[in-house]
Structure 1
Amino acid sequence: MDRLADLSDRLRAVVSQRMATDPAHDLAHLDRVWVNAQAIADDRTDMPVLLAASYLHDLVNLPKDDPHRHLASRKSASEAESILAELGYDAIQIQAVGHAITAHSFSANIPPETTEARILRDADRLDALGAIGIARTFSVSGALGRALYDPADPFAERRPLDDLHFSIDHWKVKLLNLPHEMLTDTGKQIATRRAERMISFLDDFAEEIGNPLPQTWTTR
């Protein structure tokens, strides 16, 4: 077994024991982020750093409605340090993993300054798009007790967008904008394809609820 595969197995074993259960931030999410990260990476990428960041970025995961959520990535980076040391990462690698973890968070608002940090941010956000993104949206909304949509105005044509109460609103507020926020060319290409799948779903969704999808939802 090569070093990367061995590290992957050991990291998965660690996070499976330490991560809290969350419908959108579980071990399967970390596996998908690693798949996405490998799709974006090139021969200039430090793969052991990217691997560790992919599996440890949600080590501390706070609910979306937690007032301290913006601190979660910093806490994850801090808790990752001892794990990385036990796995044989040196001080420079630990610092690199820590930066990638802290900078991946949407709420932390920390600019990613390294190749691995930019890849991780894109890889994590890709998991909010496409078929998986659709499933995650409704899973999280259900856990938080949010309605699927506003039956009086499903696509917020006569009201402000409100993704704290309506799941579909979150697509317009954040998710459908993600392709334009990607930091890597490959990440943007993948994100664009996945967003197109979500638009296709929205077309069917709009037809089934008897309310045409506004053009403003399909053009950005």
Structure 2
Amino acid sequence: MSRWAGPARARIATLWEGAQDGAHDLGHLDRVWKTCRLIATEEPRADADVLAAAAYFHDAVNLPKDHADRARASRLSAELAVRELGGMGFPAEKLAGVHHAIHAHSFSAGIPPETVEARILQDADRLEALGAIGLARMFLIAGQMGAALFHAADPMALERGLDDRRFALDHLEVKLFPVAAAMQTAAGRRMAAERAEWMESFRTRLLSEIG
């Protein structure tokens, strides 16, 4: 546990006051922090202060999925985190670790995680894209972007190219199943495999219902 979880959460709550994004809200941050702690039980070298700060600030600058600067969001979040945490009295020697963990967590940024904290945060955040909560967030974001649930004539893209900007169900093959196969920690791999299996079962049920 870290004494910085509460202050970091409170600061983000202030920074996000008035914002409305059901997929990237305080609940998302709380779940990421909870998963970080769970994974960290098998990673004894992890710094709890770095993890807590990174978990609560990793989406501090939250840009829409279709925003032109989406790939820069994690870097902007990392820079904001360093500024805010520095003003809060967070240990200066740990700020670089927080910056790297946040910068490297993003799928679109493509930054390899080089520390145990970065690997844990990346897994914890990507686990949010899997399983039941992952599907709920997937469909919520698809709706925000004006996408359809699935391609009515060819939901499995057997005779067309995948396009997850137009069809939510395509996102499973385009991104989520690959994410599940690319976890950084042993605990993350176990949890991801279970959640991916559940998503496959959901898709099978959906296809059965729509015929």
> Same fold, TM exceeding 0.5?
yes
Matches within 5 A, 1:76-155: 76-155=77-156
- Contact residue 54 and residue 98 of structure 2 kept, 8 A: yes
State the partner residue of 1:218.
none
State the partner residue of 1:26.
25
TM-score, normalised on structure 2?
0.95
User: Deviation of residue 102 (structure 1)?
Assistant: 0.4
User: Deviation of residue 194 (structure 1)?
Assistant: 0.6
User: Deviation of residue 122 (structure 1)?
Assistant: 0.5
What SS does the aligned partner of 1:88 have?
A: coil
State the partner residue of 1:36.
35
State the partner residue of 1:9.
6
Distance of 1:50 and 1:9 partners within structure 2: 13
Moved more, 189-198 or 86-95: 86-95
Show CA shifts across 1:13-51 (max 9, x none): 111121332221111100111111111113211010011
Superposition RMSD on alpha carbons, in Å? 1.1
What SS does the aligned partner of 1:164 have?
A: coil
Could you list the runs of 5+ residues in structure 1 that have no partner in the other structure?
211-220
What SS does the aligned partner of 2:4 have?
A: helix
Could you list the runs of 5+ residues in structure 2 that have no partner in the other structure?
none
Distance of 1:108 and 1:92 partners within structure 2: 24
Letter in 2 for 1:67: A
User: Deviation of residue 191 (structure 1)?
Assistant: 0.4
User: Deviation of residue 12 (structure 1)?
Assistant: 1.3
What SS does the aligned partner of 1:181 have?
A: coil
- Contact residue 122 and residue 183 of structure 1 kept, 8 A: yes
Letter in 2 for 1:187: G
Letter in 2 for 1:79: L
State the partner residue of 1:217.
none
Moved more, 107-116 or 11-20: 11-20
What SS does the aligned partner of 1:111 have?
A: coil
State the partner residue of 1:216.
none
Distance of 1:94 and 1:201 partners within structure 2: 41
State the partner residue of 1:162.
163
Show CA shifts across 1:138-168 (max 9, x none): 1111111100000010110000001010000
Distance of 2:4 and 2:118 partners within structure 1: 19
What SS does the aligned partner of 2:165 have?
A: coil
Distance of 2:154 and 2:112 partners within structure 1: 36
- How many positions carry a matched residue from both structures? 207
Letter in 1 for 2:31: R
- Contact residue 39 and residue 187 of structure 2 kept, 8 A: yes
State the partner residue of 1:184.
185
